[in-house]
Structure 1
């Protein structure tokens, strides 16, 4: 009996001893103040570290990622000097270990059994979540250099100075901040790839502010390409003896013609100039040609403008004469064969700008002289000489008109008449001082004015007649 009791006492004592040793071991396991071995957070190894050290390491790593710097240097092209630096956290970047801190802290909570179980089943890895809002960075960049986007491009200009020099003023480009490539560079740098988390990433990114060039509609290159290189010719006629009405008509028409621009291939019509002048200034009474006679009319003098322009055009290469007629009578201000008349609705002066470049017509009226200047493109080593030759002289006819006021045998010459002419005009191309080619540009006929004699009835005279015909708007 005693032996059996002694045996049970030994067994019970042994069991108590085993239980005591097991509980001590369990208590020791649960009471460890470290992170279980081989635990990583987003690649950062915190396994085996004291809990406080592990938490500190995680904080430091997040802070290290968020304190990286991005520096944007100014742009010399846009005259944007200086630089600006931001921390990653300031431009919309955030790094956060998901759940690891909470789990680590649980290692210190609960009873022995709960802590032991939690430690035994502790996760081996945790995620590092990174986020980046590119819009924040873009707004910061634009705010720093906002004045760049406020500038506007300025067109190039062309001015023809009073000394006939063609002066060009360069255009001014504007700039616009180009944030997109900067955002892409930051995005590819700021988010740490999973394979590199836990290491020491690059701490600074430096880049230059990028801008887009905004050119104006009219650049210096475009403007110069129009071909207004210089004054290529000028031609002057005189109207010193003109009455006030005629002088007014010449001056007004010249004002409208001034700064007239012809595009490449465009056909110029003098009728357009006359219409515009009529609208803006009106025309005054001055002598015009009607039925081969000078008579009072409206618009006398405008043909001096067309004729002066014609002479300038003749001396320029690349101009095609589309329509041109001489006056029915010679004019005093130009040689025969070198005038260009105009009659509303009947005769126009037209030419085509075939130079391939723009052509600008300018006019100057000073001291009763009209000067037409052409600005465009033409080699400086060439010129055109104009020569007109009278190839035939036409004698005036004699017209006898019965005049009942005269007595038998009486006669009175009321118009002396004038010769008529047939004229050929030639244009010679002179290059480097030598004649290269010669062409006939016109074959013109000027009507002879008849000798008109009034005679008494029965002396063979005819009744006077009034012919209808084209009225040339001034000589």
Structure 2
């Protein structure tokens, strides 16, 4: 028995030494290899037997295969599609290739031996980690905010038969861009394995403004105004009614700003507007939306009587006829706008409508001003500039005369006068306006091959006298020349029939022509753009 006890420890030692030598040999043999061990994967890519550079290239090729992937980024019911490049997606842990290469080659002898033996039983998989670029992803979300977000519809009001009724609003959705970038980063780092995916963004619910308590305060008429557009063309009438309908029913909460241009745009056919007269560079032209300035002007006068804050207002370049100087508010594309802010503690309701050729605006809210306090606005003309007469020629048929009416130039100011119990409390200049003078433009057609007619018209134009020009035009227009020729031919036939002497064929007719200077003067149309208020676009009058 004693011999057996001596043999077993020796046998154990021999076996241990033998195992150690075997493990060392196996590990040493693996360390000498310049390729990744068999049964090693990076993601779905088998990289066993590859060099480090070959393995990296193989994984890059696999990653690039996902470049055509489509990600649907959703926020509640809204969504947009994005590509990997839209988010700056990339493979971030490229050092995993070196880790795969060193698998079975790091740690102590037994750890490396165990790793080697484990590979004989199952594959070793190293995960690919993806990352999105923060700035690229945030920029993408910002650029698609309109598609992802849903504006809340505030609780509103409608006025029917003199009574206000509350209209329920709707919740909105707003993407939290910073939180969404973090969420996307986490998803691609921890979850995405490649291919198409639907990913939820972080979004917040936006509650509509306006409680029943707030809206119930709207009951008092704070300011009103009306203007007459009954003599307008059909197109202008349509434009006025269209613009009013887009403003009517507006609810403005405390601190909110209202833009007339944003409310009524676009000023083109797609916005429901027709061609009508508008001011442009000192002349009247046909423009889509002609007439909406009367809408903004009427609203302006109602708003200033409600004493809301005017944050932007422009005068027309030339005088308008429906209000006194300095009481107007022009709209010109996106160059001129009327903006005002609700400076009250309660909501404001704007009512607008047209009836009998009159446009009306009423501003309702909560009246906090004393009952004996009255506000009046008075226009004062500071200076005037008389218009000139300008004659220009055109290629229209000779004798054609068209006239564009003149506009007197004025500088004006608007006074705000406050009285309390009939006694003036304050008087201040509320705004100032400058309207440029524009000439009466007489356009004379000179299109003719008749040298005599052209000479006579040039002589008349040189006088710069409208009456003489019109007389010459009546004499030398094509119809008048043709009528004289026909009359002369009839006289010749009559004389021939009665045996009289026929006058020479080249005998001229004897029209009455003005005795004026013969040196023609042809003024040209001014080309200076309308700079009275800085607008080059059409102002809608």
1:166 to 1:459, Cα distance in 2 relative to 1, 3 A: same
Structure 1 position 267 matched with structure 2 position 328: no
Q: CA offset at residue 310 of structure 1?
A: 0.4
Where do 1:9-48 residues align within 5 Å? none
Q: CA offset at residue 403 of structure 1?
A: 7.1
Residue matched to 1:160: 159
1:405 to 1:308, Cα distance in 2 relative to 1, 3 A: closer
2:379 aligns with one of 365, 374, 388: 388
Deviations 1:173-226 (A, max 9, x none): xxxxxxxxxxxxxxxxxxxxxxxxxxxxxxxxxxxxxxxxxxxx97653443xx
| Preserved contact between residue 286 and residue 300 of structure 1 (Cα < 8 Å) | yes
2:227 aligns with one of 223, 237, 244: 237
1:241 to 1:293, Cα distance in 2 relative to 1, 3 A: same
Q: CA offset at residue 445 of structure 1?
A: 1.1
Query: SS state of the match for residue 271, structure 1?
Result: helix
| Preserved contact between residue 402 and residue 464 of structure 1 (Cα < 8 Å) | no
Structure 1 position 474 matched with structure 2 position 522: no
Residue matched to 2:242: 252
User: Does 455-464 or 265-274 show the bigger shift?
Assistant: 455-464
Structure 1 position 310 matched with structure 2 position 309: no
Structure 1 position 462 matched with structure 2 position 529: no
Structure 1 position 330 matched with structure 2 position 319: yes
Find the aligned partners of 2:342 and 2:270 in 1 and give their Cα distance: 26
Q: CA offset at residue 360 of structure 1?
A: 0.9
Find the aligned partners of 1:285 and 1:234 in 2 and give their Cα distance: 29
**Number of equivalenced pairs:** 268
Find the aligned partners of 1:466 and 1:268 in 2 and give their Cα distance: 35
Q: CA offset at residue 461 of structure 1?
A: 4.0
Deviations 1:113-159 (A, max 9, x none): xxxxxxxxxxxxxxxxxxxxxxxxxxxxxxxxxxxxxxxxxxx9966
Identify unmatched segments of 5+ residues in structure 2.
1-154, 168-208, 445-460, 463-517, 531-535
Structure 1 position 221 matched with structure 2 position 282: no
Which structure shows the bigger proportion of residues in helix conformation? 2
Structure 1 position 430 matched with structure 2 position 419: yes
Q: CA offset at residue 274 of structure 1?
A: 1.9
Which structure shows the bigger proportion of residues in strand conformation? 1
Find the aligned partners of 1:285 and 1:405 in 2 and give their Cα distance: 24
Residue matched to 2:342: 353
Find the aligned partners of 1:219 and 1:264 in 2 and give their Cα distance: 13
Find the aligned partners of 1:314 and 1:336 in 2 and give their Cα distance: 15
Q: CA offset at residue 276 of structure 1?
A: 6.2
Find the aligned partners of 1:288 and 1:315 in 2 and give their Cα distance: 27
| Preserved contact between residue 390 and residue 424 of structure 1 (Cα < 8 Å) | yes
| Preserved contact between residue 413 and residue 451 of structure 1 (Cα < 8 Å) | no
1:258 to 1:399, Cα distance in 2 relative to 1, 3 A: same
2:351 aligns with one of 359, 362, 369: 362
TM-score by length of 1: 0.50
Where do 1:183-194 residues align within 5 Å? none
| Preserved contact between residue 364 and residue 372 of structure 1 (Cα < 8 Å) | yes
Residue matched to 1:124: none
Q: CA offset at residue 326 of structure 1?
A: 1.1
Q: CA offset at residue 237 of structure 1?
A: 1.0
| Preserved contact between residue 388 and residue 426 of structure 1 (Cα < 8 Å) | yes
Q: CA offset at residue 414 of structure 1?
A: 4.5
Where do 1:24-423 residues align within 5 Å? 160-163=159-162, 165-166=163-164, 220-224=212-216, 227-275=217-265, 281-317=271-307, 319-378=308-367, 379=369, 380-399=371-390, 401=392, 414-415=403-404, 417-423=406-412
| Preserved contact between residue 253 and residue 277 of structure 1 (Cα < 8 Å) | no
Find the aligned partners of 2:397 and 2:158 in 1 and give their Cα distance: 68
Q: CA offset at residue 472 of structure 1?
A: 3.3
| Preserved contact between residue 319 and residue 435 of structure 2 (Cα < 8 Å) | yes
Bigger radius of gyration among the two: 1
TM-score by length of 2: 0.44
Q: CA offset at residue 390 of structure 1?
A: 0.8
RMSD: 3.4
Query: SS state of the match for residue 306, structure 2?
Result: coil
| Preserved contact between residue 270 and residue 350 of structure 1 (Cα < 8 Å) | yes
1:281 to 1:158, Cα distance in 2 relative to 1, 3 A: closer
User: Does 377-386 or 421-430 show the bigger shift?
Assistant: 377-386
Find the aligned partners of 1:368 and 1:420 in 2 and give their Cα distance: 28
Find the aligned partners of 1:307 and 1:376 in 2 and give their Cα distance: 20
| Preserved contact between residue 284 and residue 298 of structure 1 (Cα < 8 Å) | yes
Deviations 1:311-357 (A, max 9, x none): 0011123x221111111122121112111001012111111211232
Q: CA offset at residue 307 of structure 1?
A: 0.2
Deviations 1:282-303 (A, max 9, x none): 1001111111222211111111
1:404 to 1:368, Cα distance in 2 relative to 1, 3 A: closer
Identify unmatched segments of 5+ residues in structure 1.
1-155, 170-216
Query: SS state of the match for residue 429, structure 1?
Result: strand
Find the aligned partners of 1:443 and 1:463 in 2 and give their Cα distance: 32
